[in-house]
């Protein structure tokens, strides 16, 4: 029987097969590297805002905030396997634009199992979009969780505990959202990470006064390095080795401020900045933390 394929088509098919084979090996390598026993925390360089991507050793994916625009979508695509269009957990710390906007894109593109936030109320079109999207996601099967002090997410040996707000804020109106920011402390084996949203020093102090355990190896510095956050007392309580600051290059707020950089330096803390280094990745085996810049 005469072949239906021309020589050119046959060569094309062979090449495609070869590429597929190579691709399989590449993916196996990626999975091997991504394999169990490592926790990865990426403070994403999304400009002036916050977005933190976490991959647990069991390959669960958690996103804390989405930054100010759609840039987060590119960052997720780089980190998730090409076939994965879902996230296990999305956390909105507070509905300010530089944390919220990217999540509006994420919720439209990704299936999300759990969406965690405070349920606080505020004005504004983007807040309304968020609430409408939550309703839509809930109909599609997402679970919406209102979080407060003491709530925990567990995945294997990874535990993420909410340290702020201290009470349920669902339905409460706030003009200034920073005080309501969801603070999370993640522990994996002997390592710990503290994510402080944009909370000001008053909330830092309130957590200290409430005897909450804040001690952490890594601190995601509050409010992009604003001088009204990261007080000396707070830095002493957290006592981190590493501080990660998410701020946009040449932002108009002057973040991070000299005051905070100085406080971190005085305490001998290694400081990583997305405006200088781009994405900052920390990898933990439960004992040690390695920094990939
Ligand atoms: Zn912010």
Q: How far is the CA of 108 from the centre of ligand 1 (A)?
A: 22
User: What span, in angstroms and rounded, lies between the C-alpha atoms of 144 and 125?
Assistant: 20
Q: How far is the CA of 55 from the centre of ligand 1 (A)?
A: 22
pLDDT tens-digit map of 234-283: 999 999 999 999 999 999 999 999 999 999 999 999 999 999 999 999 99
pLDDT for res 1 = 45
Q: How far is the CA of 237 from the centre of ligand 1 (A)?
A: 22
At 37, the pLDDT band (50, 70, 90 cuts) reads: confident
Please list, in sequence order, all residues whose beta carbon lies within 8 angstroms of the beta carbon of residue 260, skipping any fewer than 6 positions away: 221, 225, 226, 227, 229, 230, 245
Q: How far is the CA of 223 from the centre of ligand 1 (A)?
A: 5
Q: How far is the CA of 13 from the centre of ligand 1 (A)?
A: 51
pLDDT for res 31 = 43
User: What span, in angstroms and rounded, lies between the C-alpha atoms of 81 and 23?
Assistant: 13
Q: How far is the CA of 94 from the centre of ligand 1 (A)?
A: 9
Rounded mean pLDDT, 152-160: 93
**Mean pLDDT, the chain, integer:** 91
| 184 pLDDT more than 80 | yes
At 25, the pLDDT band (50, 70, 90 cuts) reads: very low
Q: How far is the CA of 243 from the centre of ligand 1 (A)?
A: 16
Pairing of strands 158-164, 152-155: antiparallel
User: What span, in angstroms and rounded, lies between the C-alpha atoms of 244 and 217?
Assistant: 11
Q: How far is the CA of 114 from the centre of ligand 1 (A)?
A: 22
Strand partners, 270: 242
Determine contact, residues 20/28, Cβ cutoff 8 Å.
Answer: no
Question: Pick the residue with more confidence: 209 or 19?
Answer: 209
User: What span, in angstroms and rounded, lies between the C-alpha atoms of 76 and 98?
Assistant: 17
Give pairs for 53-60: CB < 8 Å, separation 24+. 53/79, 54/186, 55/79, 56/155, 56/156, 56/158, 56/188, 57/156, 57/157, 57/158, 57/188, 58/155, 58/156, 58/158, 59/34, 60/88, 60/89, 60/155, 60/158
Q: How far is the CA of 247 from the centre of ligand 1 (A)?
A: 9
Rounded mean pLDDT, 193-218: 98
pLDDT for res 30 = 43
| 224 pLDDT more than 50 | yes
At 24, the pLDDT band (50, 70, 90 cuts) reads: very low
| 22 pLDDT more than 80 | no
Please give the structure tokens belonging to residue 272: 């990583």
Please give the structure tokens belonging to residue 130: 């968020």
Q: How far is the CA of 64 from the centre of ligand 1 (A)?
A: 12
* CATH assignment, 36-292: 3.60.15.10
At 176, the pLDDT band (50, 70, 90 cuts) reads: confident
Q: How far is the CA of 79 from the centre of ligand 1 (A)?
A: 23
Q: What residue ranges do the domains of the chain occupy?
A: 1-34, 36-292
Rounded mean pLDDT, 35-58: 92
Determine contact, residues 280/244, Cβ cutoff 8 Å.
Answer: yes
| 138 pLDDT more than 80 | yes
| 225 pLDDT more than 80 | yes
Q: Would you call 271 helix, strand, or coil by DSSP?
A: strand
Euclidean distance between the first and final Cα of the chain, in Å? Answer: 59
Q: How far is the CA of 282 from the centre of ligand 1 (A)?
A: 21
Burial class (CB in 10 A: 0-12, 13-18, 19+), 34: middle
| 88 pLDDT more than 70 | yes
| 190 pLDDT more than 90 | yes
Cβ atoms within 10 Å of 58's Cβ, excluding its own: 13
Q: How far is the CA of 103 from the centre of ligand 1 (A)?
A: 14
Candidates 101, 93, 114; CA nearest to 73 is: 101
| 28 pLDDT more than 50 | no
At 172, the pLDDT band (50, 70, 90 cuts) reads: very high
Q: How far is the CA of 22 from the centre of ligand 1 (A)?
A: 43
Determine contact, residues 291/43, Cβ cutoff 8 Å.
Answer: no
pLDDT for res 17 = 56
Q: How far is the CA of 100 from the centre of ligand 1 (A)?
A: 9
Q: How far is the CA of 30 from the centre of ligand 1 (A)?
A: 33
Q: How far is the CA of 39 from the centre of ligand 1 (A)?
A: 25
Q: How far is the CA of 51 from the centre of ligand 1 (A)?
A: 10
Rounded mean pLDDT, 214-224: 98
Q: How far is the CA of 96 from the centre of ligand 1 (A)?
A: 7
Q: How far is the CA of 50 from the centre of ligand 1 (A)?
A: 6
Q: How far is the CA of 194 from the centre of ligand 1 (A)?
A: 16
At 147, the pLDDT band (50, 70, 90 cuts) reads: very high
Q: What angle do CA 66, 72, 73 make, to 5 degrees?
A: 125
């Amino acid at each position: 029987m005469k072949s239906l394929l021309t020589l050119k088509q046959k060569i094309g098919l062979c090449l495609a097969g070869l590429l597929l084979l190579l691709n399989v090996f590449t993916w196996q390598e990626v999975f091997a590297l991504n394999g169990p026993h490592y926790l990865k925390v990426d403070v994403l360089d999304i400009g002036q805002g916050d977005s933190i991507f976490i991959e647990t050793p069991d390959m669960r994916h958690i996103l804390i905030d989405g930054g100010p625009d759609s840039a987060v979508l590119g960052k997720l695509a780089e980190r998730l396997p090409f076939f994965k269009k879902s996230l296990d957990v999305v956390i909105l710390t507070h509905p300010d634009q530089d944390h919220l906007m990217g999540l509006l894109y994420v919720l439209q593109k990704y299936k999300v199992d759990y969406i965690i936030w405070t349920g606080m109320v505020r004005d504004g079109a983007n807040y309304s979009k968020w609430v409408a999207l939550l309703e839509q996601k809930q109909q599609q099967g997402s679970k919406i969780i209102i979080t407060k002090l003491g709530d925990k997410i567990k995945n294997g040996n990874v535990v993420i505990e909410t340290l702020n707000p201290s009470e349920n804020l669902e339905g409460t109106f706030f003009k200034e959202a920073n005080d309501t920011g969801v603070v999370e402390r993640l522990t994996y084996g002997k390592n710990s990470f503290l994510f402080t949203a944009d909370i000001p020093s008053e909330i830092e102090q309130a957590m200290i006064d409430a005897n909450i355990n804040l001690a952490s190896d890594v601190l995601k510095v509050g409010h992009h390095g604003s001088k009204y956050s990261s007080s000396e007392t707070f830095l002493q309580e957290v006592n981190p080795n590493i501080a990660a600051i998410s701020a946009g290059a040449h932002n108009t707020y002057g973040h991070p401020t000299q005051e905070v950089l100085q406080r971190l330096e005085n305490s001998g803390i290694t400081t990583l900045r997305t405006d200088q280094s781009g994405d900052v990745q920390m990898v933990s085996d439960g004992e040690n933390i390695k920094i990939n810049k």
